[in-house]
Structure 1
């Protein structure tokens, strides 16, 4: 009888033990923008988890860099991200002021068990145009790159999970049939936009966005084109009228006022010089007559 009871207890423990120790590992893909804030979730934990059992590790693919960012629910002070990291009440990890080097694979662990793998990608925009190009008739060249968890622009292992595109500030995709837009050097993780600028493009936002399956926008980054000169310089046309229009800049108004004054001063000086020369000549004649 005692043997039967012991066997029953062993069977119950055998059934309960895997349930208490097993943790279903999940994978999460997070997309954010350069300079932004992102939340890396630690999923699968109870509603009120004990974060003192949680740690976070970081792996940078390509460069083979592995570090522990959080230990015992606390941000490690020796982490190069320590000033930008914080732990939420549900043990998720927040990263502020995102850098390109933050892209990588993060793992949330409960004790020694891996709970969640989080793959963070960072969206960036760089401009290849000079300030002089930012004016009507100029060309604006913008390069959008998604830095992935594996390596810069490689997008290995999950390249079919998202798509990069250029859009207006409201999210409307730029139409390729518009001949003033051109997409060059396009790849899975990089897309370059060349735009022939018009007058209405001053202070306009150009948006690169990453969308996932189901056309869900996961992240976006904007670039605003600000013109140094809204209008091309126009040639000055000579005119007999010396009056100055009131809409001219202050420098031109000053020139218009100063120029007539300078002309008057030169005229007065010239007239006085002529009088002095005339007096000198007359005096010479009188002296010559007395001498004779």
Structure 2
């Protein structure tokens, strides 16, 4: 760890609106012990979070101090959001939900896309909220009789920034009728 990071502090404010110190005096703070195995700081004092989860959604604040311990000016704020794709299965229908979990208000547009123009069984539902969209399709016979994978793409676009796409593939299992395999790829 470089000497310069000894004068860097990283703070986190999450969904519970409490602020905790993550990094201070050149090391991961004791208060962050529940996630210390996932946190590190690079030589340029950037915070690295491994295995990001829903609990990590929030506001991250970087504060730097001079040699005398005085705040060097304005804080650097980073908002971390998480894209979550979940599946709900009823006896005859599968629903995929793509949602963005944010700290504070949501400023993302979320929508599902499917390139299979012949799939009349697939219903791309209107967004349920500003940060969530769903797609539904019959669990059977659509998935079970399909000879190829069905690919859905969830597009997430913040008000400012680049659009991201997350691909969700549904593949029939040929050796086990009545089951299907799902995977999420970025």
TM-score greater than 0.5 by the shorter chain: yes
Q: Measure, in 2, the Cα distance between the counterparts of 1:107 and 1:213.
A: 21
1:184·1:194 contact (CA, 8 Å) conserved in 2?
no
Contact preservation (8 Å) 1:49, 1:90: no
Alignment of 1:62-77 (within 5 A): 63-77=16-30
Match of 1:183 in 2: 125
Q: Secondary structure at the match of 1:50?
A: helix
Alignment counterpart, residue 82 of structure 2, candidates 114, 117, 122: 122
Answer whether contact 1:107 1:114 (CA < 8 A) is retained: no
State the distance in 1 between where 2:159 and 2:147 align: 31
Cα 1:77–1:183 shift into 2, 3 Å = same
Runs (4+) off by over 6 Å: 229-233
Which structure has greater strand proportion? Answer: 2
Residue 100 of structure 1 pairs with residue 54 of structure 2: yes
**Which sits farther off after the overlay, 78-87 or 111-120?**
111-120
Partner of 1:225: 170
TM-score, normalised relative to structure 1: 0.48
For the 8 Å contact 2:3–2:26, the answer to whether it is kept is no
- The structure richer in helix per residue is 1
Give 1:111-190 correspondences, 5 Å limit.
111=65, 112=71, 113-129=73-89, 139-150=93-104, 156=105, 159=106, 161-168=107-114, 180-184=122-126, 186-190=128-132
Work out the number of aligned pairs and report it. 165
- Equivalent residue of 2:103, what SS? coil
Deviation at 1:67, TM superposition (A): 0.3
TM-score (norm 2): 0.71
Q: Distance in 1 between matches of 2:166 and 2:122?
A: 21
> Residue 44 of structure 1 corresponds to which residue in structure 2?
none
Q: How far, CA to CA, are the matches of 2:125 and 2:38 in structure 1?
A: 35
Q: What residue ranges of structure 2 are gaps of 5+ in the alignment? A: 66-70, 179-186
Please report the RMSD computed on the Cα atoms of aligned residues, expressed in angstroms. 3.3
1:81 aligns with: 35
Contact 2:20 2:31 in 1 (8 A): no
Cα distance change, pair 232–93 in 1 and its aligned pair in 2 (3 A) = closer
Shift of 1:230: 7.8
Whole-Å Cα distance in 1 between the matches of residues 47 and 169 of structure 2?
Answer: 31
Q: 1:195 aligns with which of 110, 134, 137?
A: 137
**Contiguous gaps of at least 5 residues in structure 1:** 1-47, 151-155, 234-292
Q: Please state how far the C-alpha of 1:72 moved relative to its aligned partner.
A: 2.1
Q: Separation in 2 of the partners of 1:75 and 1:64?
A: 21
